[in-house]
């Protein structure tokens, strides 16, 4: 699905708002009632089980009418299964915590009194939410909080589906649910207590990590001492008791939080404006921060940017070959998800990765690349954050820096134990802060002798070799960044050429079948998946340079819309020219 698509003949999609365990959420415009709504669908194509679950969510949530519970208006079964929900221009609490860290007890109490009231209304309808956590609480800048995502809730009276399966999110799971007992009202209260604990202490009571390890700690029910909860400490201690029958009810929690917040009253939700302009995605930093990258104040926002953005700053990126891309990764921000480490060997020289140990078999890889906008055809205005199509194992966004540059951020891990887009939002906040402080710092360590970082990639193919592809203009090479990658596009719709540098472990062979490139070894690989083309990998091992743990590769791809193998002869011919032009 893309921006502009119409769902059910009525709802026009605007922006992908985020992804969680229940599915993808979009903002959309209701053409019939002229209002903005939120649409949610499963990650994969909906089968009958998905449709039944989503209809159950709608039926369940429709039973609850409370100012602090997100309302569900409708369902759409055409094409995919969609829920039509109230649109609230707000961040989820987990994004707020990722951006700002632990919150003051007074603010946490104000959030808690609203969610406890919504939860009391849920329980009054004999409904158990089953997944109360920061990611399912929306918080506006003026303090309104709403409970959302009834995707795994059970309408106990109607369905009788209490089967003892563990559901919810491990870090906020009650001890009895972690032990395999059915979720109930008291486990919802525990999860709310764990959520408020995380908000005020900066970490959930059972920590983060591999799900089975978190659940093991949850089963023991050992809560660390609270150090920052202040007046919330006694109530949170009761909500987090190991024995379910000793916890207060949601309504009792609401009443006691009301005593803490005093005369403060929650604000009322404002109706969604019918404005139609496409807007940047909202960031954890808040919806009222103005997006102005080029003025040194780049941030996300949820409303239209200033009508007259400041003039571009020529010094923001500076010399491409000395710019420190790794400075865009703020490890301090990412540390809340696990131990992060910088890795500069994962790809091109315009790329840097933060590998975060989250307790899984492999780390979460947060990759940042600085690119020229023309190399990827990046649209949008300075300050805009663009959502890229991605699977559940990846979250991919692009920050438009100015008229020339963009920063692409990709967060990846197969079968992740946490929401990758939450990690990516935190990473992007670090990117924005670095750019706002500008200019980008310089590399502390120069590239080693013999590195391809010193070689202009655009010079490896000459006009004669490029002329063998009709429509390619040798004089119109597109620099990706630092002249470490070069692209030639076909002006008549034929195949294009992408030549770039990569890094590879010295002891491992590159992918592909070994071929001779005029005395240089090369490895030919027919592309699979969405890419139509053929790639040749050329290892660069200059004889006069001492061996290192990694070697540089020249990666040359010829791609178009014909069968992949058709491009291999031309790719191999061009790779032979590029290999001959490499320094010895």
Alpha carbons 549 and 541: distance in angstroms, whole number: 12
Phi and psi at 169, nearest 5°, equal -110, 125
- Cβ–Cβ < 8 Å for 175, 220: yes
Distance (Å, whole) CA 12 – CA 100:
33
With H, G, I as helix, E, B as strand and everything else as coil, classify residue 240: coil
Determine the Cα–Cα distance for residues 79 and 51; give it in Å rounded to an integer.
11
User: Nearest-5° angle of CA 353, CA 358, CA 363?
Assistant: 40
Cα(28)–Cα(412) distance, rounded to whole angstroms?
A: 27
Write out the two tokens for 156.
């106990």
Collect all residues with Cβ–Cβ distance below 8 Å to 54 and sequence separation of at least 6.
41, 42, 46, 75, 81, 82, 83, 151
- DSSP assigned state of 218: H
Helix (H) or strand (E) holding 500: strand 496-505
Contact 338, 209 (CB under 8 A): yes
CA 302 to chain centre: 17
Catalytic residue check, 74: no
CA distance 71 to 86: 5
Cα 171 to its chain centre, rounded Å, is 20
Give the chain's radius of gyration (CA, Å).
26
Q: Tell me the backbone φ, ψ of residue 442, rounded to 5 degrees.
A: -90, 155
CA distance 26 to 41: 9
The tokens of 145 are what? Answer: 């909080």
Catalytic residue among 80, 131, 353, 429: 131
- For residue 499, what are the β-bridge partners? 486, 556
Angle, alpha carbons 523-526-531 (nearest 5°): 125
Given a contact cutoff of 8 angstroms between Cβ atoms, the answer to whether 170 and 214 are in contact is yes
Q: Which residues contact 209 (CB under 8 A, 6 or more apart)?
A: 338, 358, 359, 417
Catalytic residues: 131
């Amino acid at each position: 699905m893309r921006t502009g698509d119409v769902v059910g003949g009525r709802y026009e999609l605007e922006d992908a708002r985020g992804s969680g365990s229940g599915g993808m959420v979009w903002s959309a415009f209701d053409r019939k009632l002229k209002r903005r709504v939120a649409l949610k669908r499963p990650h994969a194509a909906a089968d009958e089980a998905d449709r039944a679950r989503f209809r159950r969510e709608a039926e369940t949530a429709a039973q609850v009418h409370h100012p602090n519970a997100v309302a569900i208006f409708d369902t759409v079964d055409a094409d995919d299964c969609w829920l039509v929900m109230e649109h609230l221009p707000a961040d989820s609490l987990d994004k707020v915590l990722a951006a700002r860290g632990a919150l003051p007890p007074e603010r946490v109490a104000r959030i808690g009194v609203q969610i406890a009231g919504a939860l009391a209304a849920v329980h009054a309808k004999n409904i158990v939410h089953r997944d109360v956590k920061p990611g399912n609480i929306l918080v506006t800048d003026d303090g309104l909080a709403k409970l959302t995502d009834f995707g795994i809730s059970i309408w106990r009276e109607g369905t009788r589906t209490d089967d003892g399966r563990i559901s919810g999110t491990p870090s906020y799971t009650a001890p009895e649910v972690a032990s395999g007992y059915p979720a109930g009202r008291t486990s919802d209260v525990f999860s709310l207590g764990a959520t408020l604990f995380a908000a005020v202490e900066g970490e959930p009571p059972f920590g983060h990590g591999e799900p089975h390890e978190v659940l093991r700690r949850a089963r023991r029910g050992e809560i660390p001492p609270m150090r920052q909860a202040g007046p919330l400490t006694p109530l949170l201690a009761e909500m987090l008791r190991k024995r379910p029958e000793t916890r207060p009810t949601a309504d009792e929690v609401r009443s006691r939080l009301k005593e803490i917040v005093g005369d403060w009253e929650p604000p009322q939700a404002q109706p969604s404006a019918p404005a139609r302009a496409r807007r940047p995605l909202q960031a954890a930093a808040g919806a009222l921060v103005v997006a102005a990258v080029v003025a040194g104040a780049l941030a996300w926002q949820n409303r239209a940017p200033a009508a007259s953005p400041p003039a571009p700053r020529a010094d923001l990126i500076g010399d491409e070959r000395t710019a420190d891309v790794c400075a865009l990764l703020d490890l301090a921000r990412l540390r809340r998800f696990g131990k992060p480490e910088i890795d500069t060997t994962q790809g091109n020289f315009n790329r840097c990765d933060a590998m975060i140990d989250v307790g899984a078999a492999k780390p979460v890889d947060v990759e940042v690349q600085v690119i020229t906008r023309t190399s990827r055809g990046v649209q949008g205005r300075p300050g805009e954050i663009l959502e890229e199509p991605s699977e559940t194992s990846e979250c991919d966004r692009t920050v438009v820096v100015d008229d020339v540059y963009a920063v692409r951020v990709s967060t990846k891990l197969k079968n992740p134990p946490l929401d990758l887009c939450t990690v990516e939002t935190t990473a992007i906040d670090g990117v924005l802060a670095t750019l706002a402080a500008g200019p980008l710092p310089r590399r502390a360590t120069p590239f080693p002798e013999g590195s391809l970082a010193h070689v202009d990639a655009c010079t490896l193919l000459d006009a004669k070799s490029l002329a063998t592809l009709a429509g390619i203009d040798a004089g119109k090479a597109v620099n990706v960044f630092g002249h470490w990658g070069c692209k030639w596009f076909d002006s008549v719709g034929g195949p294009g050429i992408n030549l770039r540098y990569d890094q590879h472990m010295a002891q491992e062979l590159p992918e592909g079948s070994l071929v001779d490139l005029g005395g240089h070894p090369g490895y030919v690989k027919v592309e699979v998946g969405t890419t139509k083309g053929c790639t040749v990998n050329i290892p660069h091992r200059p004889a006069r340079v001492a061996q290192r743990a990694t070697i540089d590769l020249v990666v040359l791809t010829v791609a178009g819309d014909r069968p992949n193998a058709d491009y291999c002869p031309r790719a191999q011919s061009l790779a032979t020219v590029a290999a001959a032009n490499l320094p010895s």
